[in-house]
Structure 1
């Protein structure tokens, strides 16, 4: 649980946020958005979406 908080803190420092959206198939997806509301990463698992976004920013 502590790593999830640390990842969320890292996202906030980079100006990103996580939004939960309902998709057409009936599942929730977690979208990581930047300050311009552009999607950086998307996944059905919040932790995976955050990790993808952080890896995208590092690359």
Structure 2
């Protein structure tokens, strides 16, 4: 773990590490908020129902 941290420090430099960590934390927080705020898909509209007394006209 220490070796990985040292490699990251060499690649990005010590001045950019706080900015990188902050942006990763913000992205994680926004992702979790998006997952928690998920709204279910609206239910499909019901099909048209023909009343019991109504019939369709027949051809003569």
Under a length normalisation based on structure 2, what TM-score does the superposition of the two structures give? 0.30
Structure possessing the higher relative contact order (Cα contacts under 8 Å, 6 or more residues apart): 1
Rg larger in 1 or in 2? 2
Q: Which has the higher strand share?
A: 1
